[in-house]
Amino acid sequence: MIPMSEVVELVVVEDDPKTLKSLMRLLGSYPEFRVVGSALSGESALKTIDAVTPHLVLLDLELGDIDGIEVTRKVKAVHPEIEVLILTSFDDEVKVYMAMQAGAGGYLVKRVVPEKIRDGILEVLGGGTVIEPRIARRFWNYFQSVQGSAENQESILEPIEADILQMIARGLTNQETGRVLNLERRTVRTHLSHIYRKLGSSSRSGAVVSALRKGLINL
């Protein structure tokens, strides 16, 4: 999470040159954003992200070499502080699940209006999780099916950690979670770092997916 008074540095990854150019022009029109890098492939994206370490990567899934889910996984493994927002043509709840499990903080379909992309970036950077409304219901139903097929395990989470992750699963930001549980935001972040370590995750969404699969939390 970064202070919203700070200019947000972005890397845009899209394999279609025309779409990439349009996205860079769009994002460059917002004074709160600065595009510091772009890439047309997964390998190029990883090199660019390593070089400029942006606040957020706007990432397509349909890349010619490494797909966006694998790029997300590699980015979050090396730079857990970098947020990833998927922007793709895939309207598929399973792809959403896979992206979230890899560590993406949000998932938008390319047909959304430009303001939704801007708002999605700010929401993810603010500690939220973004899923386009028209696929959110199917996504959460899929989550329920994953959760329902999981065998409950003895919890490896402390009660307060489970409570925090429960709030995150319901879409609350870190700040909102702190208000509900009467915790300072930095305390929420500290607990989340412990949760990530226990679940082998590098993001809020990835931790939620893992906890649901293990039956450690409920929706």
> Please, what is the end-to-end C-alpha distance for the chain in angstroms?
25
How far is Cα of residue 131 from the mean position of the Cα atoms in its chain?
9
Question: What pLDDT, in 10s, does the model give residues 37-96?
Answer: 999 999 999 999 999 999 999 999 989 889 999 999 999 999 999 999 999 888 777 788
DSSP, residue by residue, 134-188: HHHHHHHHHHHHHHHHSPP----S-HHHHHHHHHHHTT--HHHHHHHHT--HHHH
Other Cβ atoms less than 10 A from the Cβ of 213: the count is 18
Residues 6 or more apart in contact with residue 152 via CB below 8 angstroms? 215
* Res. 151: pLDDT tops 60: no
Which tokens is 34 given?
């600065």
Residue 71 vs residue 205, higher pLDDT: 71
Domains present along the chain, CATH in parentheses:
8-135 (3.40.50.2300), 147-214 (1.10.10.10)
Q: What is the pTM of this model?
A: 0.73
